[in-house]
Amino acid sequence: MTTTVRLRAPMWTRIVLAVLAVPQLVTGLWAVINPRHWYDTFPGLGPLLVAAEPPFNAHLATDAGAGFLAVGVVAGVAALWGERRVVLVGGLGLAAFALPHFLYHAASPAPGLNATSNTVNVIILSIAALLPLAVVAASLKGRDT
């Protein structure tokens, strides 16, 4: 009989995943349930980020929402379970979404936003891309052998 030791992830990595999961889940549910409202009003305050790049496409908005939702579920479950390898997968899932998302917005300012709004958006997205990478690095550093 063999015994497997499941290493717990550092608490800060679980907190980061949980915090990052919340906006993914909210955004995803919103876009899946009401894609038109999500498109017209996201993020709900400040500049309208999604509507800054028209036209509206219900299929694309719903699919994007499903992607946000999936990433949020993976990150949330990883934060809840806390096993180092699961947290690694959660971090990788978030990074796989957040890095291309950041790179797109960094290279393609939205025509409907002013320079300040575009800059703030890119800064927020860069943080959202760097945090999962930190989770991945911490998870790899102490990975199971």
Let me know if 7 is exposed, middle or buried by CB neighbors in 10 A (0-12, 13-18, 19+): middle
Query: Which pLDDT value is given to residue 3?
Result: 62
Q: Is the dihedral of CA 5, 10, 15, 21 positive or negative?
A: negative
- Shortest CA distance to 39 belongs to which of 22, 13, 59, 14? 59
pLDDT at 71: 97
Mean pLDDT by 10 residues, the chain (145 residues): 76 97 97 96 87 92 96 97 96 97 94 91 96 96 59
The per-residue pLDDT for 145 is 41
pLDDT at residue 141 in the model: 87
